[in-house]
Amino acid sequence: MKRATARAQLVRGAAARRYVLMVTTSMQPGNDVLVAKPRALIVTIYGLYARDAAGWFSISALIKLMAELGVDEPAVRSAISRLKIRGLLESRRVNGAAGYGLSAGGQKILADGDRRIFRRPSASADDGWLLAVFSVPEHERARRHALRSRLAWLGFGTVSAGVWIAPAQLADETRDVLAADGLIAYVSLFTAGNLAYGDVGDKLREWWDLDRLEQLYQAFIDAAEPVLARWHDTGCADPGQAFADYVRVLTAWRRLPFLDPGLPAELLPADWHGTRAAGLFGGLRDLLSGPARAHVLAVTGANVI
């Protein structure tokens, strides 16, 4: 029974790592960040709307919604197949209609992502820090990889090989995630404050790749600002266009919180691009989420959401 439980925990952790990899790859400065792979767009659609419908969409409704994003039916079916292999979706019929629903693991992964994407507050320097100190035996390398992946997903930076650091506000979430994945036996967690030697703001660039993160935020700003300007200038009332724009913007945005630990603002540069990017995303969300949802209702039927 213990082996079965450990195996299940590793499978859940692997699914989460694949999800994080999926939403953070192809996020390179200079690329059109509003262009995403079909499976990433599908995850966004499920995260936004399907959980209100028991995590399920009919295949016909999903094909119609993806057509608004310029994705044809073969690409949709291929993407769904990959998401099934990754353990996020499963085949399911509802009232005789063929469709795909979120797996139990997919439900949890998206719920965890919601906290990161929509609700994580920025830390304060007065909150202190959370240290994760760990050592995993060589013959359990899979566990070591899983632990490092989960710490990175949570937003930890690297002080040294076995010492990782994050804002102290992540303590509860870190305990919950590591316990759920069966990794807590390998790590000790401590809260700490900075006593002396060196400026903490300078240290942040050693522990996290802030330069790359700033470039990614700027790429998001460059892509999303014209979308906001277009809606303000034209006063467009097309729900289908609102849906397409909102899904693309959110798909681009949700990659960033998996790279940003929410560091204290007072320790970041005064012109930190993340602040401007967050405000831009919030403005687009306020403007587009309502009409986008209305469009999904029209496509799927009011009984679905």
Got the DSSP string for 16-43? HHHHHHHHHTT--TTS-TT---HHHHHH
- What pLDDT, on a 0 to 100 scale, did the predictor assign at position 5? 46
Question: Highest-confidence range of 31-35, 151-155, 175-179, 245-249, by mean pLDDT?
Answer: 245-249
pTM over 0.95: no
DSSP code, position 169? G
Owner of token pair 């998996």: 258
pLDDT in tens, 105-152: 898 889 888 888 887 777 888 899 999 999 998 899 999 999 999 999
Hey, what are 25's tokens?
A: 């790859």
Reply yes or no on whether the pLDDT at 252 is more than 80: yes
Question: Do the Cβ atoms of 200 and 125 come closer than 8 Å?
Answer: yes
- What pLDDT, on a 0 to 100 scale, did the predictor assign at position 54? 77
3-state secondary structure of 268: coil
3-state secondary structure of 252: helix
Q: Which fold has domain 2-115?
A: Arc Repressor Mutant, subunit A (1.10.10)
DSSP code, position 170? G
273-280 contacts, C-beta under 8 A, 24 or more apart: 273/214, 273/217, 273/218, 273/221, 274/213, 274/214, 274/217, 276/217, 276/221, 277/217, 277/218, 277/220, 277/221, 277/224, 277/253, 280/220, 280/221, 280/224, 280/225, 280/228
Hey, what are 88's tokens?
A: 């996020």
The CATH number assigned to the domain with range 129-193 reads 3.30.70
**Any idea where the domains of the chain sit in the sequence?**
2-115, 129-193, 209-300
Got the DSSP string for 80-149? HHHHHHTTSEEEEEETTEEEEEE-HHHHHHHHHHHIIIIIPPPP-GGG-EEEEEE---GGGHHHHHHHHH
Q: What percent of the chain has pLDDT over 70?
A: 86
